[in-house]
Structure 1
C-alpha cells in the first residue's frame, strides 16, 4: 500500500462516520424536515421568497383571520400556515422549526405533528373568536386587529416550543415556563400584533394540555427566584417602554412620552428590594406588595378617568397607555407575591435553627458533635465536623455540621446521629437553609445522604475515599512491594516509628513538626487549606494520633495525623489520614513507611478500617457522569501544579485500597456558580487577593 493510501484511510473512515450520523438525524426528523420543505416550496411557488405575500392577488384566498372566517373561507387556517408574510421573515420562520425538531427528537413524529397542527389551529381560531367578541366593544386595538389577515406557522411552532419547555427537568421546566409566559405577555401588552395574540393562545393551549407549570409545587427557593427575576424584568420593561414606541391593548405610545418620574421611582424601589426578594427577606416582600398595590391603584385611577371622560385627558406626568400596560404586570406580580408569602420570612443572618426567644435551646457546640459521634458513630470524615469554624443545626434526629460562605450553607460529610435519622436531618437542613435565604448543599457526603435527598437533586462525584481493610492485613505479594521496600529501608537506616499524640511530645519535637509544616506551606504560595484538610491546630486534639518517623539522629523525617472513626458502640472502628508532612532531606519512602507502620499498629489494636481520605478533584470522570464532571476534571488538571491532587491519588493506590464515592450534592446546576466560590472560601478562608493572583499565574505557567 502506498503512503498516500495509508494517509487517506482515516479520512475515509471519518467521512463515512459523518455520513452515518447525518443519515441518522434525517431518519429521526421526518416531520420537521417535511414541514420546512413544504414552507420553502410554497415560498418558491408563491414567490414569497422574493416578494411580500400580501401584494399577491391571491392573498385574501389563503390568509387566515376573522375576516376570512366571516366570509366563509374555512380552509384558510390550513392554507395560510405554509405562507410567510415577507422575504426577510423566512429567516426567523425557518429558525423556529428548531424547536419542532427538538420535540420530534424527544417525542417522535406523531406527537410533534399533533402539537404543531393543534397548536396552529387553536392559535388561529381562538384569536378570531376573541377578536369577534372584543371588537364589539369600543376598543380600538381589538377593532383594528379584527380587520387584519395573517399567514405563517408561528402558532404551531410556538406550541412545539412550549411543549419542549414542558419536557425540561425540574426546576428548569418552571424557569423555562416563566420565560415563555413572560415573553408572550410582553408581546401582547407592548407590541400587540395579531401574531403576538396567536402566540399567547398557543402557549395557553399547551399549558392547559400538559399542566407542566405548577408554581404551587415549586420549592421555596424557586418562588424567591421567580420574584427576583420578575422584579428585575419589571424595571427593565419600564425603562424600555419609556424609550421605545409601543402599541398594545391600551393604545399606542411614542418614545419618551411616558412619565420619567414614575419610571425613576419604580426602578429605585426595584433596586432596593430585588436582592432581598432573592434571599427571602420579609421587608422586601412587604415593600414589593405595597408598591404593586400603588401601581395598581394608579392604573385604576387612570382607567376610571378614561371611562368618565371618553376623550383623552391630558396629564402632565405621562402617557396613561404605558402606565396601564405596566400596571397590569404589577397587578400580576402583586397577586403572585400574596400567593407565595410564606416563602418570604427571613431576617438578618443568624445560625440556622436559632430562635429569637429567650427560652430557645442553646445552639449545638463542637462538644455536642463529639458526644454524638461517640454515641452513634460516624463516617470517615465525621471528626472533621468538630473543627474550628463549623456551625451546627440541631435536627429532630441529630446534628448537621455546616459552614456558611457567600450565601451558601455547605453541610460537611453526613449528618451526625443515628443512620436511620439521616433523611429527617437532610430535609430539615434544606428547609432551614432555604428559610434563611441560603443555598444548601452537601460536601464530601456519602451514598447515605445521596439516597435520602429530595427528588431532582444532583450528585457530583468529587473524590474517591480510599479505604484499607485492616483485618488480616499482610504486606505480601507484588502489590505491596513499595510498602515493604519503605519499611525495610527505614529499618536499615535506623528510623524509629512512634504512634503518639501531639500533647505527649517534647518541645523540641513540636518545633520540628511546626518547621516541617511551615516549609510545606511556604512552597505552595497559598495558606494551608482548611475545611476538610487539617492543620497542626487540629492535630493537637488529644483524640487525634500522630505517627512519627524519627531518624537515628533524633530528627523527625516525617509525620502523619490520624482522625478517629467511631462505631455505634463508642469504640474506635478505624482511623482517617489527615496531615502528611515530610522533611525535605528525609529518607525516600518515608510516607509509605509511616502509613504501613500505622496500618500494622491499628490492625494490632483491633481497628477495622484505615481511610487514606479522598484527594479532591482526583476522581476519574466517566463519560456518563455529565458535562459538569468533565469540567471538574479539567479544573483538576489546572490545579495540579499547585496542589498535586492526582499525584496524591496515585500515591494512595500503592496501598491497594477499595474505593467509596464522595459526593457534592446540590439542587441544580444554577447553584454551582455560588457553590464554587463558597467552597474556595471554605478551603482558603485566610487567602489574600495577592495569593490568589500568584496561584493563578502559577497555574497558567504550569509551575
Structure 2
C-alpha cells in the first residue's frame, strides 16, 4: 500500500497537508482505497487533520469508514471547501474557522508603493549584515535548538509551543522540507522551515519560523524575501503562508447548516482571542506579501458542536 506521503503527493489539494505527517499523528486506512485519514486523540475526542487524503472517487467511502472507526466524538479541522461540502453531506455541522493565504510566485513583486514599508524593513535587515543560508538535512542544528529555547522563553513563563496545526523542524520527514536560516556576524537570528505543497497550487508552505528577540527589525521579512527570490528562480508556482484561525471569516463562505453559536464564538475569538492564538500578528505578517488567494478553511463536528470538542482541540494544539 502506498505511504501516507505518496497519498498526499497524489491526491491532496490542501496547502497544509504536509502537516499530516507530523510526529504524534495516527493514520486510518481502508483496504478499498490507497489513501489515509490523519488524526490524533485528545481525551474522548478524535481530532482529524484535513479531509480524507485519497482519490476523489474514494473520498466519501473513506470518510464513512473513518467515521465508523472514530465514533461520534469526531472533529475534523483545516478542511478545504471541497472537504467541507463532503462532510456537510455526511451529517457533520461545518463552520468556517479561518483562512489560508497564498502568493502566486509568477506574479510576485515587491515593486510599487504598497510595498514601500516592506522594502524598507528588508533593506534595514540586509544593511545589518543578514546572510541567508539553506541548512541541509542532517546538518548540525544545535544553534537553532538554542534559538527555539530563547524564542519560547521570551514569550513568557506560561506560553507553550503550539503543535498539531503547525509544522516541525525535526523528524524523519525533514528531508522533504527546506530550512533557511538568517545569520548576522555568524550567529543565527532567525529561521523559516518550508514544507512541500501539492495539488492545484503546488509549491511551498511558509511554515515553522523563529526569531531571536534581539534580532534587528526586518530579519524575517528579509529572510523570506530571499527565499521567495530563490523559489521564483527555481520555477516554483506558489508560496503558501498557511492557515490562520479566526481570520478571513465571511458569512458568504459558510455552508448551509452551519452552527450560529459556533459562528458567534469564532467571531468573538477573532476580536478577543489573542491570548489563545496570535491570529492578529500572524495575519499582519501574511498580508504584507499581498496574497493573491485567500482560501476559507473549515471545522466539522459530527453532530452538533460541543464545548468539550472545542476545548480538546485547543488542548491538542497547546493553545491552553
Q: Same fold (TM over 0.5)?
A: yes
Within 5 Å, give how 1:206-221 maps onto structure 2.
none
Q: Is residue 562 from structure 1 mapped to residue 194 from structure 2 by the alignment?
A: yes
Residue 257 (structure 2) aligns with: none
Secondary structure in structure 2 of the residue aligned to 1:665: strand
What is the aligned counterpart of 1:534 among 164, 167, 170? Answer: 167
Q: Deviations over 1:465-496 (max 9, x none)?
A: 01111113222112222332233223322211
Residue 16 (structure 2) aligns with: 381
Q: Is residue 448 from structure 1 mapped to residue 67 from structure 2 by the alignment?
A: no
Within 5 Å, give how 1:249-268 maps onto structure 2.
none
Secondary structure in structure 1 of the residue aligned to 2:273: helix
Q: How many residues align?
A: 309
Separation (CA, whole Å) in 2 of partners of 1:540 and 1:521: 23
1:430 is displaced (CA, Å) by 1.8
1:372 is displaced (CA, Å) by 2.0
Choose between structure 1 and 2: higher strand proportion: 2
Secondary structure in structure 1 of the residue aligned to 2:274: helix
Whether contact under 8 Å (1:461, 1:619) holds in the other structure is no
What is the aligned counterpart of 2:94 among 417, 437, 459? Answer: 459
Q: Deviations over 1:498-530 (max 9, x none)?
A: 2333523xx4xx233112211222224232111
Q: Deviations over 1:409-443 (max 9, x none)?
A: 21101321223322222222223222xxx412211
Separation (CA, whole Å) in 2 of partners of 1:546 and 1:582: 14
Separation (CA, whole Å) in 2 of partners of 1:402 and 1:675: 14
Whether contact under 8 Å (1:539, 1:561) holds in the other structure is no
User: Structure 1 pair 456/399, CA: closer, same or farther in 2 (3 Å)?
Assistant: closer
Q: Is residue 520 from structure 1 mapped to residue 155 from structure 2 by the alignment?
A: no
Whether contact under 8 Å (1:539, 1:545) holds in the other structure is no
Q: Deviations over 1:522-554 (max 9, x none)?
A: 224232111011343359711111121111x11
Whether contact under 8 Å (2:195, 2:206) holds in the other structure is yes
Residue 247 (structure 2) aligns with: 618
1:567 is displaced (CA, Å) by 4.5
Separation (CA, whole Å) in 1 of partners of 2:46 and 2:238: 31
Choose between structure 1 and 2: higher helix proportion: 1
Residue 586 (structure 1) aligns with: 215
User: Structure 1 pair 378/501, CA: closer, same or farther in 2 (3 Å)?
Assistant: farther
Within 5 Å, give how 1:419-430 maps onto structure 2.
419-430=56-67
1:622 is displaced (CA, Å) by 4.3
Structure-2-length-normalised TM-score: 0.87
What is the aligned counterpart of 1:548 among 162, 181, 188? Answer: 181
Separation (CA, whole Å) in 2 of partners of 1:623 and 1:419: 25
Whether contact under 8 Å (2:18, 2:197) holds in the other structure is yes
What is the aligned counterpart of 1:640 among 270, 274, 278? Answer: 274
User: Structure 1 pair 375/544, CA: closer, same or farther in 2 (3 Å)?
Assistant: same
Residue 285 (structure 2) aligns with: 651
User: Structure 1 pair 407/642, CA: closer, same or farther in 2 (3 Å)?
Assistant: closer
Residue 118 (structure 2) aligns with: 483
Whether contact under 8 Å (1:482, 1:654) holds in the other structure is no
Separation (CA, whole Å) in 2 of partners of 1:375 and 1:578: 21
User: Structure 1 pair 642/379, CA: closer, same or farther in 2 (3 Å)?
Assistant: closer
Separation (CA, whole Å) in 2 of partners of 1:392 and 1:432: 11
Separation (CA, whole Å) in 2 of partners of 1:456 and 1:587: 51
Q: Is residue 609 from structure 1 mapped to residue 238 from structure 2 by the alignment?
A: yes
User: Structure 1 pair 483/419, CA: closer, same or farther in 2 (3 Å)?
Assistant: farther
1:637 is displaced (CA, Å) by 4.0
Secondary structure in structure 2 of the residue aligned to 1:591: helix
Whether contact under 8 Å (2:97, 2:249) holds in the other structure is no
| RMSD across aligned positions (CA) | 2.6
Secondary structure in structure 2 of the residue aligned to 1:612: strand
Residue 404 (structure 1) aligns with: 41
Q: Deviations over 1:184-209 (max 9, x none)?
A: xxxxxxxxxxxxxxxxxxxxxxxxxx
Q: Rg: which structure is higher?
A: 1
Structure-1-length-normalised TM-score: 0.41
Secondary structure in structure 2 of the residue aligned to 1:629: helix
Secondary structure in structure 1 of the residue aligned to 2:53: coil
1:563 is displaced (CA, Å) by 0.9
User: Structure 1 pair 459/483, CA: closer, same or farther in 2 (3 Å)?
Assistant: same
1:667 is displaced (CA, Å) by 2.9
Unaligned runs of 5+ in 2: 255-259
Separation (CA, whole Å) in 1 of partners of 2:239 and 2:262: 30
Separation (CA, whole Å) in 1 of partners of 2:249 and 2:84: 20
Separation (CA, whole Å) in 1 of partners of 2:171 and 2:280: 25
What is the aligned counterpart of 1:631 among 265, 268, 286? Answer: 265
Unaligned runs of 5+ in 1: 1-363, 693-703
Secondary structure in structure 2 of the residue aligned to 1:414: strand
